[in-house]
């Protein structure tokens, strides 16, 4: 058995890959809808037709269910749920975090998950709340680690066990937890106890937590973000290197009459139109949906359909190399998501080494685009270019014939030697009319190039509008207009 993860495409720290467990293979990024055997508002067999390749259910609920426990032990989970795709089971940890304790041991829950035929098992980790004090976090992490070690010892190195990464909001603890989990050779690693962060829109901290956990984890590990299910945050989480999500949101929101869109949630009560291409929205008006006796079920279908569609969109963006654009678009849906996005940009230098070398395009979408990994990478590369003794920087002004060497200028990158003009990122970069922030970044790139060519006599040719910004930045250069 064992769990295998293969990365096929990369973008930022995100990946498109294949997760293999036994004879099951699913595409990642993947969403595993949460299935509660007692409240199956969409049967798993129907989910399969909607593109769902894997689901997650709770082993604790099965073990306590008079109706389902024996059935699952006798017939197996796949038969009971009528789903032949990948089924992951969670332990009783979530119940433990809500009710304080559970009446099962680590070994008991894992044995039960094995015996009902689950494809991916979760040990009894402790989901430490983000606001727990450090001493307590360390104590709880120790217990989680001991249980993971015990799980590996009892069930062997090939058991399809996941290794949750805890550590609340302490970055050093998340990193060391990630490292410990990878040292124990867990290939499937959920980042745990982040639900309270997402529920209170603490996306900035969420970004730090994921970066920290990823730093400790083996880059080949498949990373699951526990409890993340709103499609507005998939692009951001994937950009940080998360590969799998699970969600009860499609069902919970439907119960509350809430309509999920990739950029937020609407109240069905207040909607005049259903702006979506799914079969439910195309065959009902908003009013018909509100009055339907199947409202909750139909809304759950819609919610799951848009969630799955967003997962597809994210996978396509990674494959094409347009994930930054998608993150930018999605994170403008809520100011706190924008905080998360800006935090990702602040820390882009740490992700730069993971990013791919070439992409299909670079669309400038505002000043945030200046902090993208590609701009940083370009600014690090450009000082390696050797300039001639005399050089003209063509920043939009006249080109006198006396210059043998003319270097282009494209903000936010900066100087563009002729040989690089058609290559990524400057070649396929589309920018609107220049703005001050992008020119300032371009100037940074030019300053980096001039610093390594101190003997070159540089003339900058630009327009009246931008000349003052160049003159201030380069007092020793001639600036012509
Ligand atoms: N579901 C949401 N968060 C968690 C977590 O931290 N651990 C487990 N086992 N399940 C979860
Ligand atoms: Zn719809």
Q: Kindly give the confidence (pLDDT) of every residue in the chain, 481 residues in length, as a single tens digit, with 9 standing for 90 and above.
A: 799 999 999 999 999 999 999 999 999 999 999 999 999 999 999 999 999 999 999 999 999 999 999 999 999 999 999 999 999 999 989 877 777 778 899 999 999 999 999 999 999 999 999 999 999 999 999 999 999 999 999 999 999 999 999 999 999 999 999 999 999 999 999 999 999 999 999 999 999 999 999 999 999 999 999 999 899 999 999 999 999 999 899 999 999 999 999 999 999 999 999 999 999 999 999 999 999 999 999 999 999 999 999 999 999 999 999 999 999 999 999 999 999 999 999 999 999 999 999 999 999 999 999 999 999 999 999 999 999 999 999 999 999 999 999 999 999 999 999 999 999 999 999 999 999 999 999 999 999 999 999 999 999 999 999 999 999 999 999 999 9
Q: Is the CB of 127 under 6 A from ligand 1?
A: yes
Residues 283 and 430 in one domain: no
Which residues lie across from 16 on neighbouring strands? Answer: 9
Longest dimension (CA), the chain: 89
Residue 226: give the domain boundaries: 3-354
Residues 212 and 304 in one domain: yes
The total of structural domains in the chain comes to: 2
- Helical residues (DSSP H) of 201-334, grouped into ranges: 203-216, 234-239, 249-255, 279-283, 286-291, 295-320, 323-330
Of 299, 324, 354, at which residue does a domain stop? 354
Residues 202 and 310 in one domain: yes
Q: Is the CB of 382 under 6 A from ligand 1?
A: no
Task: Say whether 54 sits in a helix, a strand or coil.
Answer: strand
Residues 333 and 476 in one domain: no
Quote the ligand 2 centre to 298 CA distance (angstroms): 9
Give the 3-state secondary structure of 350-396.
HHHHHCCCCCCCEECCCHHHHHCHHHHHHHHHHHHCCCCCEEEEEEE
Question: Which ligand 1 atom minimizes the distance to the CA of 227?
Answer: 2
Of 323, 354, 385, at which residue does a domain stop? 354
> Going by DSSP bridges, is the β-strand pair 3-11/14-21 parallel, antiparallel, or unpaired?
antiparallel
Q: Is the CB of 246 under 6 A from ligand 1?
A: no
Q: Label residues 171-184 b or e (16+ Cβ within 10 Å = b).
A: bebbbbbbbbbbee
* Closest ligand by atom to 163 CA: 1
Residue position matching structure tokens 């058991």: 159
Q: Is the CB of 58 under 6 A from ligand 1?
A: no
CB 305 within 8 A of CB 282: no
Domain of 235: which CATH number?
3.20.20.105
Residues 366 and 385 in one domain: yes
CB 256 within 8 A of CB 270: no
Residues 341 and 222 in one domain: yes
Of 322, 354, 386, at which residue does a domain stop? 354
Residues 127 and 214 in one domain: yes
Residue among 23, 79, 84, 90 flagged as catalytic:
90
Q: Is 90 a catalytic residue?
A: yes
Residues 324 and 403 in one domain: no
Q: Is the CB of 122 under 6 A from ligand 1?
A: yes
Residues 399 and 457 in one domain: yes
**Hey, what are 308's tokens?**
């799955």
Alpha-carbon distance of 257 to 249, in angstroms, equals 12
Looking at residue 40, the DSSP 8-state letter turns out to be -
Alpha-carbon distance of 417 to 426, in angstroms, equals 10
By C-alpha distance, which of 389, 406, 388, 386 is closest to 397?
A: 406
Residues 332 and 396 in one domain: no
Residue position matching structure tokens 């080494």: 353
Task: For the sheet with 390-395, list strands across it.
Answer: 414-416, 406-410, 390-395, 457-462, 478-480
Question: Mutation test of ligand 1: which of 32, 57, 94 has the most ligand atoms closer than 8 Å to its C-beta?
Answer: 94
What are the backbone dihedrals phi and psi of residue 58, each rounded to the nearest 5 degrees, phi first? Answer: -105, 115
* Closest ligand by atom to 147 CA: 1
Domain of 467: which CATH number?
3.40.50
Residues 367 and 341 in one domain: no
Residues 328 and 372 in one domain: no
Quote the ligand 1 centre to 452 CA distance (angstroms): 51
Quote the ligand 1 centre to 225 CA distance (angstroms): 9
Looking at residue 420, the DSSP 8-state letter turns out to be G
* Closest ligand by atom to 32 CA: 1
Q: Is the CB of 192 under 6 A from ligand 1?
A: yes
Alpha-carbon distance of 120 to 3, in angstroms, equals 8
CB 68 within 8 A of CB 75: no
Quote the ligand 1 centre to 410 CA distance (angstroms): 47
């Amino acid at each position: 058995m064992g769990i295998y993860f293969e990365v096929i495409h990369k973008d930022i720290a995100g990946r498109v890959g294949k997760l293999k467990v036994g004879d099951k293979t699913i595409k990642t990024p993947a969403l595993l809808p949460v299935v509660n055997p007692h409240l199956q508002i969409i049967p798993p067999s129907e989910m399969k037709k909607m593109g769902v390749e894997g689901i997650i259910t709770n082993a604790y609920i099965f073990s306590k269910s008079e109706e389902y426990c024996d059935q699952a032990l006798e017939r197996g989970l796949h038969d009971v749920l009528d789903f032949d795709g990948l089924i992951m089971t969670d332990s009783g940890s979530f119940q433990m975090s809500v009710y304080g304790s559970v009446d099962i041991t680590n070994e008991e829950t894992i044995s039960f998950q094995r015996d009902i035929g689950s494809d991916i098992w979760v040990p009894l980790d402790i989901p430490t709340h983000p606001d727990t004090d450090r001493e307590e976090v360390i104590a709880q992490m120790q217990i989680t680690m001991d249980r993971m070690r015990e799980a590996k010892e009892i069930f062997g190195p090939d058991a399809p066990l996941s290794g949750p990464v805890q550590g609340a909001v302490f970055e050093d603890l998340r990193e060391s937890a990630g490292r410990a989990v990878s040292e124990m050779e867990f290939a499937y690693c959920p980042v745990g106890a982040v639900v309270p962060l997402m529920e209170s829109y603490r996306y900035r901290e969420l970004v730090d937590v994921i970066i920290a956990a990823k730093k400790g984890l083996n880059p080949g590990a498949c990373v699951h973000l526990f409890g993340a299910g709103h499609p507005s945050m998939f692009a951001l989480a994937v950009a940080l290197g998360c590969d799998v999500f699970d969600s009860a949101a499609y069902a919970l929101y439907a119960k509350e009459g809430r309509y999920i869109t990739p950029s937020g949630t609407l109240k069905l009560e207040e909607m005049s139109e259903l702006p979506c291409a799914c079969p439910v929205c195309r065959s009902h008006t908003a009013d018909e949906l509100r009055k339907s006796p199947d409202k909750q079920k139909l809304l759950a279908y819609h919610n799951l359909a848009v969630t799955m569609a967003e997962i597809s969109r994210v996978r396509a963006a990674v494959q094409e190399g347009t994930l930054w654009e998608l993150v930018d678009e999605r994170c403008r849906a809520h100011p706190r998501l924008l905080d998360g996005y800006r935090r990702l940009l602040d820390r882009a230098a740490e992700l730069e080494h993971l990013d791919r070398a070439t992409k299909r395009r670079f669309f400038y979408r505002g000043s945030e685009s200046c902090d993208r990994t590609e701009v940083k990478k370009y600014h690090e590369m450009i000082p390696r270019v050797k300039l001639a003794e005399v050089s003209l920087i063509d920043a939009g002004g006249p080109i006198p014939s006396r210059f043998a060497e003319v270097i282009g200028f494209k903000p936010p990158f900066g100087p563009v030697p002729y040989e690089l003009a058609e290559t990524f990122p400057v070649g396929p970069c589309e920018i609107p009319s220049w703005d001050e922030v992008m020119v300032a970044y371009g100037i940074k790139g030019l300053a980096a190039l001039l610093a390594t060519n101190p003997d070159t006599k540089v003339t900058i040719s630009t327009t009246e509008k931008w000349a003052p910004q160049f003159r201030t930045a380069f007092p020793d250069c001639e600036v012509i207009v």
